Amino acid sequence: MINILRKDTGETLSQLTAESLVKADLRDLVLRNADFSGADLRGALFVGADLRGADFTDANLQGAIMYNCQMSKASFVNADMTKTRLGHEIRSQAAAMDECDLSGAQLVEADLRNVDLHGSRLPGLNMSKANASHACFNEAVMPDANFQDANMISSNLRRTDMKRANLCNCHLNAAILCEADLTDATITSTANGNHASLDLANLREAKLVGAQMRDIFMIDADLRHADLENADLSGAIMCGAILRGANVRGANFENVELASVTMCFANFSEAKNADIPSGKLDLR
């Protein structure tokens, strides 16, 4: 017999006639503020459960199925959520994880499609190779997080803190990144045939100071009033991108074709290796 206890009062929330929580069936249970800290929950089934405020600190949730769960303000600090399924193709069936703490959590190859993580804390998170398409990270705090090879197409990253994040080969096509802080982030394409992509992304007023963006695809990206000071954009594909009013002081545009880039009111006089095509206003 296993008792699932409330973390603050020790009250028994549920009893399971099982010897362990591995592959446990916890569907549709009300487990608010439950204490799962350090628990082995590999392959556990949580679909439809109410887990608001639950504590999964240091828990092993590898392969757990957690879509359609209410998990607002839950703690997943240092939890192993490798290949955990939190997302769903139908938005209303994806997990609600707003204001959660996932500091240092492992979400490698996890399913986060349509998941709501707005206002959550994710510093040091490892989300490499995860599928977070159409997920909401609005105003989330996630410096030093690892998103390498992740799918974040059409995700909402408005006003996020992504300083020093690793976004190598990350697909951010049509993502909303306006006012996001990507200072010193690495968004480069690697040499193994994969590539980072921000095609059609909204980066208005985004902070990309010192960002590494070599060989990135940024076709038709909106960078109006973005801060690209000292960013490295060498080899970037920027056809149709809008740099209107952007700060490009010290930015490296080596081997970037600027013929189709909208650059009015962006002062390229202190940009590096920017070959302004004839017919464009040369503010240098």
> What total number of domains does the chain contain?
1
CB within 8 A of 84, min separation 6: which ones? Answer: 61, 62, 63, 64, 65, 66, 107, 110, 111
pLDDT digits (tens, 9 = 90+) for 30-77: 999 999 999 999 999 999 999 999 999 999 999 999 999 999 999 999
Task: Give domain status of residue 262, yes or no.
Answer: yes
Q: What values do phi and psi take at 145, rounded to 5?
A: -80, 155
Q: Whole domain around residue 225: which residue ranges?
A: 147-284
Task: Give domain status of residue 52, yes or no.
Answer: no
**What pLDDT does residue 284 have?**
39
Look up tokens 């949580």; give the residue. 46
pLDDT level of residue 269 (50, 70, 90 thresholds)? confident
Concatenating the DSSP letter of every residue in 198-226 gives -TT-B-TT-B-TT-B-TT-B-TT-B-TT-
255-276 average pLDDT score: 90
pLDDT digits (tens, 9 = 90+) for 189-238: 986 778 999 999 999 999 999 999 999 999 999 999 999 999 999 999 99
Task: Give domain status of residue 13, yes or no.
Answer: no
* Contact status, residue 268 vs residue 248, Cβ threshold 8 Å: yes
pLDDT digits (tens, 9 = 90+) for 181-193: 999 999 999 867 7
Q: What is the pTM of this model?
A: 0.93
**CA–CA distance, 217 with 229 (Å, rounded to integer):** 19
**What pLDDT does residue 282 have?**
47
**CA–CA distance, 186 with 199 (Å, rounded to integer):** 17
125-133 average pLDDT score: 98
pLDDT digits (tens, 9 = 90+) for 78-122: 999 999 999 999 999 999 999 999 999 999 999 999 999 999 999
Task: Give domain status of residue 177, yes or no.
Answer: yes
Residue 88 tokens read as 């769903």
* Contact status, residue 52 vs residue 70, Cβ threshold 8 Å: yes
Task: Give domain status of residue 278, yes or no.
Answer: yes
Q: What values do phi and psi take at 14, rounded to 5?
A: -160, 150
117-131 average pLDDT score: 97
Return the CATH number at 217.
Answer: 2.160.20.80
Task: Give domain status of residue 151, yes or no.
Answer: yes
**CA–CA distance, 56 with 73 (Å, rounded to integer):** 11
Task: Give domain status of residue 192, yes or no.
Answer: yes
Question: Residue 127 in 3-state DSSP?
Answer: coil
Select from 90, 94, 37, 32 the least CA-distant residue to 65: 94
